[in-house]
Structure 1
Amino acid sequence: MTRASLDKQPHEVASMFDDVAAHYDLTNDVLSLGQARLWRKEVAKAVDARPAQKVLDLAAGTATSSRPFAAAGAYTVPCDFSLGMLKVGKERQPHMPFTAGDATKLPFRDDTFDAVTISFGLRNVQDTDAALREMYRVTKPGGRVVICEFSQPTWKPFRTVYTEYLMRALPPVATAVSSNPEAYVYLAESIRAWPAQPELAEKLQKAGWSKVAWRNLTGGIVALHRGFKA
């Protein structure tokens, strides 16, 4: 298939991730120059999962991102709309309750989870605002949301170099290590089109989240946004 267009039709994006599921985690480590593991550790700290809590990990893919929450003793639900990703994840971690679901229409009751998190997935959702409202709906009062997403480097010279890497270096690297390099061209384009840190914070506030704040990682290549449900 060709890469998904930036209008993000759900079936196209899901199919794209189905195609790269088997080698997705390895490819991410290579393309991020090893930074993906550091980012996952920072997400785990921000989520701060505890025993007896319920954590929803959206766009969880193969559930690599879910493991730290489960290891902390929380009941962790990896959720994704790519059946290919879920299949690979279930083969690797059969004990986890993998769930197929669309972030804009989550298959969970109101006020279910102590924490909802999504890493590098919100950018691929067709309707960002609807997804943020759904996350709010399924979170318990007093609960939290943690979003880890590519963002805009804060230092202008570095931002220029980073953009050049995305559009020139990333595609040939993806060709060498990925089963579907076209998918990573789409991902690079979607990163460039994604709103900067303040705009995403504003979207969170409009969806109902309070005490919204963000923290930059790796010079703003990635940002961690957090909010709470009153």
Structure 2
Amino acid sequence: MAKTQSVRASLDKQPHEVASMFDGVARRYDLTNTVLTAGQDRYWRWMTRKAVAPRPGEQILDLGAGTGVSTVELGRTGAWCVAADFSQGMLAAGQSRGLPMVAGDATALPFADNSFDAVTISFALRNIADYDLALREMLRVTKPGGRLVICEFSTPVIPVFKTAYRTFVMKVLPMIARVVSSNPDAYVYLAESIRDWPNQRRLGRRVAEAGWAGVKWRNLTGGVVALHRGYKLGS
């Protein structure tokens, strides 16, 4: 059996630590996510695509795209979609998908102003140390009238489920990851980062403060995940 690489980031989320950690999980990242979520990851990707509502000919930025599995989902409607991530290992693991891929930092995106009809980021915003700056960068590269969709772990809204979910995240999730992941210690960070992340209302406030208009959110799977949406003023 191949020896796993043990790398994890801390909650101060230094970019080199986070990138190295995701390089370490890249080989089995998609499989691990499907196992840990009991297949819900596919549903969340589908709902994210519906929220983005990409149309043929539009240009969509999938930020924090990892191996590009979310980018493939977005492209099903005929939009031109580019996968961007700062983990070289994740992008390399997804090369076989034949997608446009760009290595880049979410806080200093390598794109011109007003480049995209929509920007979306799934399960990656909480891994960015200065996510307020990242939200402003997303606004910069979005065309006037364009839209933002964030898919991220959030706070369950059913009290009993909330307690059970916290137990799963902090205790069970890392145990399962040790069986299926190529870097199980990374999932200890994952659990901690979920616990430390703001709830739906507080995140919505931060999105609005970054300059996005009409910010709303929708809970998925009882609030385990939330979709936050907004748009850039102008036409």
Partner of 1:148: 151
Whole-Å Cα distance in 1 between the matches of residues 176 and 73 of structure 2? Answer: 29
Whole-Å Cα distance in 2 between the matches of residues 166 and 87 of structure 1? Answer: 28
Whole-Å Cα distance in 1 between the matches of residues 173 and 36 of structure 2? Answer: 7
Residue 71 of structure 1 deviates from its aligned partner by 2.0
Partner of 2:53: 48
1:65-214 equivalences in 2 (<5 Å): 65-90=70-95, 92-94=96-98, 96-214=99-217
Whole-Å Cα distance in 1 between the matches of residues 148 and 191 of structure 2? Answer: 25
Residue 10 (structure 1) aligned to one of 6, 10, 15: 15
- Cα deviations by residue, 1:25-82 (Å, 9 ceiling, x for unpaired): 0000000111111100000100111111000000000100001222211111100000
Whole-Å Cα distance in 2 between the matches of residues 132 and 199 of structure 1? Answer: 14
Q: What is the identity, as a one-letter code, of the residue corresponding to 1:75?
A: W
Q: Is the CA contact 2:7–2:24 (under 8 Å) kept in the aligned structure 1?
A: no
Query: Greater CA deviation, 65-74 or 219-228?
Result: 65-74
Q: What is the identity, as a one-letter code, of the residue corresponding to 1:192?
A: R
Q: Is the CA contact 2:13–2:128 (under 8 Å) kept in the aligned structure 1?
A: yes
Number of residue pairs aligned between Structure 1 and Structure 2: 228
Q: Does 1:22 align with 2:44?
A: no
Secondary structure of the residue that 1:146 maps to in structure 2?
strand
TM-score normalised per structure 2: 0.96
Secondary structure of the residue that 1:141 maps to in structure 2?
strand
Residue 93 of structure 1 deviates from its aligned partner by 1.4
Moved runs in structure 1, 4+ residues, more than 4 A?
none
Q: What is the identity, as a one-letter code, of the residue corresponding to 1:195?
A: P
Secondary structure of the residue that 2:119 maps to in structure 1?
strand
- Give unmatched runs, 5+ long, in structure 1: none
Q: What is the identity, as a one-letter code, of the residue corresponding to 1:193?
A: D
Q: What is the identity, as a one-letter code, of the residue corresponding to 1:219?
A: G
Q: Is the CA contact 2:7–2:183 (under 8 Å) kept in the aligned structure 1?
A: no
Whole-Å Cα distance in 2 between the matches of residues 165 and 68 of structure 1? Answer: 28
- Cα deviations by residue, 1:156-187 (Å, 9 ceiling, x for unpaired): 11111000001111111000001111000100
Partner of 1:61: 66
Q: CA RMSD in A?
A: 0.7
- Give unmatched runs, 5+ long, in structure 2: 1-5
Partner of 1:38: 43
Whole-Å Cα distance in 2 between the matches of residues 27 and 215 of structure 1? Answer: 25
